[in-house]
Chains A and B, each alone.
Chain A
């Protein structure tokens, strides 16, 4: 926890934050303005745990469901809905939302990767080339999901459509049929799909694949150090996964 947070009791837990919001006059027509504060109305509770270290009590807050990149709740909702359509929860196991993929995507877009720092970005950009970075593509894309949804379905946002309607819209993006600015909607869809799968199956250290549930569903053993004991096994061997966090050395 940062020094600032320690010194500011208002930020310590959810209920006192609500008081803070109420008192600060930041709400307009029931909407909360502001980036980090927006997460409070997203319906997710931040989990807190208390640990006792050398006599002093600290409150450790889990920030994994706090957003760094997406400011508007509506944008994040569209992202989450689309990610869940790509990898839905069903009888086989958790989907993108339960696995934390939307928060994974949020963190990736806030990282240097989101602004394409490792890519060649010099012009001129020729027809067919995308001059936007990944964060710009994704932000425009999720807003476009809502825009198309509201236009085609009398003002209803993407997350509130029926699944059938949602799939129809996402399919039109995949087919490159939706007009977007400086990028083809198929390229946005491809990026969204890639990021969703990464959010379901990357090491949990990046905020997705929560509790390694993606790996458990896929029966993937994770960051094991050796398989020499199983080389000649004819039958499938199910191994409990470990993450890179499990590699920690003291």
Chain B
């Protein structure tokens, strides 16, 4: 028995950053939005007892539990996928705030190069520079076109930062000054400058001073308490949808939040999305929510899964290269770089925030010449001070046993005597890497799970080798006594621990190469918008949220346009 509810203007499927941004913008414009969220409603009062490493960092209190569903994973088309079973191996936010509750708050923009990666590569190095099977494409939007939306996201979230001298142009400064430079950061800056690079303090949603955003929401000053990434902020000092866009939507009176509501299908009549089907996760009761606009705002895996389960769009087939839904899945997990150990220095590295640190981009994007290199794109070299938590951090130089007397001695000695310089690098899409429905494993309702097929390509390894060497160089210049290089695993091991995945409902300038246009509007179903990193044709080197947020602001603008003009495609097909 399905209860059919009265029609609304807009229904969203998840209340993290994208659902929150869409809800705020559309309700401010006078439209009625229903936000469906499978998890619970959270407020910062939930975080008052939150300085608990075991509960939040290890047992992932804020994340979706894998009890009802998970994803499955395999490296190649020939493997049988296995479910990701361990709660710690698949990190996806749930509840209001979603990933925006537990994120660390690093807020870099992607480079102009990223949005036109294919044409810029061909222009400079020729088409032969792109290895066979690597399916990079232009995003159907230029940096100049997305820039105002980046600015809008940064102004909403109160981002603290200083300009990266090598990044794309900025129309407006960061709304708040960068976080303080700790001694380790000063060492990083000195070392990087000595080497001729261009360091900057990492831009962050851990706000450096009290700030009221254009919607009238106030963020408080960060206390550097270090219970940040994987935690919610009890000070309201980390931009989170529950202290920004969700209250903005609520105060319009046009927003209705329904928690414990898991969307199972997008209803589709062959031309339009007519609404969604969802279940109350507690009772199993089923509802139909009709809407003029359906906006998918869950994490990429669920966005893709909902389309596949609902029979919308043509599923990607890696054997023929046909179809689009599920194509270009990318993931830039596995942090690699170098750890430096110091005998004479002892840092106060209990201090931190989810994104306190410094970085440089001299080896990112096409900021350096690739003519004699056998890879394209690059990565950011960076150092973070997130606070060394005592369970997760037992640093000891390689060669130290992992337990026993020697382990104890070294891990105590070096606990405050180390820095880690890492590289977040681009991982480019490949024709064999994609998402589809698993043939074996299901969720509690009997629906197939999403299946991830992914591994690193040869070029990903070469890019990594190059970047790790740069990390080593910086750590050496910082004066470390012992340097250990963190190797990259030969194959992706199936731990999805950063909530940094992209692709599956990719954007582009034509329905031939993409599922959505640059307003996140489905080419084939003009009242269905799919927001999130699912739209990324490749994963840029750094954290995805600002780009996700910018694209959501653009999508919201498109939705308002669509509703005002009585429908139709927002971008004409090429």
A interface residues with partner B (beta carbon < 8 Å): 85-88, 90, 92-93, 95, 113, 117-122, 124, 126, 128-129, 167, 174, 193, 196-198, 201-203, 205-206, 214-215, 217-228, 230-237, 239, 244, 247
Contact = CB atoms under 8 A, between A and B. Distances in A.
B348 A237 contact: yes
A214 B390 contact: yes
Given A218-B415, A219-B415, A120 B405 contact: no
Nearest to B223: A226
Given A214-B390, A215-B390, A203 B54 contact: yes
Contacts of A95: 408
A218 B408 CA distance: 10
Contacts of B4: none
Contact of A198 (B48, B66, B225, B391): B391
A186 B388 CA distance: 27
Given A87-B403, A124-B440, A237-B348, A119 B54 contact: no
B225 A244 contact: no
Contacts of A167: 404
Given A87-B403, A202-B53, A236-B347, A120 B84 contact: yes
A200 to B, nearest CB: 8
A175 to B, nearest CB: 12
A185 to B, nearest CB: 15
Interface residues of B, number: 51
A113 B403 CA distance: 24
A237 B349 CA distance: 10
B351 interface: yes
Q: Which 7 A-B residue pairings sit nearest by Cβ, starting from the closest?
A: A223-B51, A226-B223, A201-B390, A120-B70, A202-B54, A118-B87, A236-B346
B412 interface: yes
Contact of B226 (A87, A113, A227): A227
Contacts of A231: 180, 182, 224, 351
B451 to A, nearest CB: 13
A38 B226 CA distance: 42
B49 A247 contact: yes
B415 to A, nearest CB: 6
Given A120-B70, A202-B391, A203-B52, A85 B87 contact: no
Contact of B182 (A202, A221, A232): A232
Interface of B: 48-49, 51-54, 58-60, 65-67, 69-70, 80, 82-87, 180-183, 223-227, 346-348, 350-351, 388, 390-391, 394, 402-405, 408-409, 412, 415-416, 440-442
A218 B390 contact: yes
B403 A218 contact: no
Contacts of B58: 198, 202
A122 B182 CA distance: 47
Nearest to B443: A122
A90 B67 CA distance: 41
Contacts of A232: 180-183
A33 B175 CA distance: 67
B350 A220 contact: yes
A129 B83 CA distance: 9
Nearest to B181: A232
B391 A217 contact: no
B67 A117 contact: yes
11 contacts: A86-B403, A87-B408, A88-B408, A95-B408, A118-B67, A120-B84, A122-B442, A218-B415, A219-B416, A220-B388, A235-B346
B390 A220 contact: yes
Given A88-B408, A223-B51, A197 B82 contact: no
Contacts of A86: 403-404
Given A88-B408, A129-B85, 7 more contacts: A92-B408, A95-B408, A206-B54, A223-B227, A231-B224, A232-B182, A233-B183
Given A86-B403, A227-B225, A228-B223, A203 B416 contact: no
Nearest to A242: B51
B408 A119 contact: no
A217 B65 CA distance: 34
Contact of B405 (A90, A202, A220): A90
Contacts of A239: 350
Question: Counting chain B CB atoms within 10 Å of each CB, which of A87, A122, A126, A197 scores highest?
Answer: A122
Nearest to A104: B54
Given A85-B403, A236-B416, A244 B348 contact: no
B225 A225 contact: yes
Contacts of A218: 390, 412, 415
A172 B85 CA distance: 26
Nearest to A249: B48
Given A90-B408, A92-B409, A202-B54, A119 B415 contact: no
B403 A193 contact: yes
A226 B416 contact: no
Contacts of A226: 223-225
Nearest to B58: A198
A95 B86 CA distance: 28
Contact of B54 (A121, A129, A198, A227): A198
B572 to A, nearest CB: 44
Question: Counting chain A CB atoms within 10 Å of each CB, which of B65, B350, B404 scores highest?
Answer: B350
A198 B54 CA distance: 7
B390 A119 contact: no
Contacts of B70: 120
A129 B346 contact: no
A247 B402 CA distance: 34
Nearest to A225: B225
A229 to B, nearest CB: 10
B213 to A, nearest CB: 22
B181 to A, nearest CB: 8
Contacts of A206: 54
Contacts of B441: 122
Given A197-B394, A198-B391, A227 B351 contact: yes
A113 B59 contact: yes
Contact of A224 (B49, B66, B225, B346): B225
Contacts of A224: 51, 225, 350
Given A119-B86, A126-B82, A223 B52 contact: yes
A142 B224 CA distance: 41
A92 B52 CA distance: 25
